[in-house]
Amino acid sequence: MTKGREERLGKGLGALLGEYLDAEAPVDAAEIRTVRLEEIRPNPYQPRKEFQPEELKELADSIRENGLLQPLIVRPRSSGMGGWELVAGERRLRAVSELGWQEVPALVREVDDQTLLVLALVENLQREALGPLEEAEGYKMLGESFGLTQGEIARAMGKDRSTVANTLRLLQLPPSVRSLLADGVLTPGHVRPLLTVEDQVRAGELARNAVKGGWSVRQMEEEVRGDQRRAKSKPAPKGRSQDPMVVALQEELRNALGTRVILRYGRKGKGVIEVPFLGPEDFERVFLLLTGREASEVVD
């Protein structure tokens, strides 16, 4: 990170973090202005994707009872667009919207895009509001949109570089594993060993087995090591190699369905697609992916 960019980022954090992350930080009433809700646009760099309805209801009830204790922080929208863009206070904005407010108190600050993303990440991380994948996506955006290295991201977020690197690696997991992580049924510690599993379908199977069996992190590590030992000792299959196109299509189907799909070609271009499943629950999962319908909709 260049000195100038680091100073700009540091100035933005130092000037803003205390104002909205510290509930005790004083705010000059003269700086607060009233802004119409319809003029506020969401933070385009908001890393948090899920907001629990129960959480928002509790906040709305508190605001109804006690008022809005902290103003929102907004910045002017791009030149010529008019209105405001949210810097901090996404939960508060959603809560007062639910209450039917037309106007809200706000502090106006000049914040560049890079600082805006860092502020949103810090706010959510300090409140433990981000899931591991949302955190990873935020770090990825800092790298791709602003050209920050992992070391620069780590310094900006007050974390070790290894922590940032390990979080970013979660985005390399197969979709089926990321889904279990996002749902909270597996922890980052559970899924990190799966990063060493080359077969994405097998990684998905191990993840589902971990959920079903209630594996600990250590058990997952042992299962992955055992799986890799068995794979190395298994003799290579004999016979002619498959058509590369068939292999590619088979792999796409495996990734899409999260199971070990097999394409068997016969004569004259005919063939069979085998879609195995691990049990009734897994069958319903595959059925939903193939048809777009829940099994309960078909069978009463």
Q: Quick check: is 90 catalytic?
A: yes
* Count of Cβ atoms closer than 10 Å to residue 206 Cβ: 21
- From residue 290, give the alpha-carbon distance in Å to each of 133, 208, 274: 26, 19, 13
Catalytic residue among 19, 85, 90, 134: 90
Q: Which residues are catalytic?
A: 90
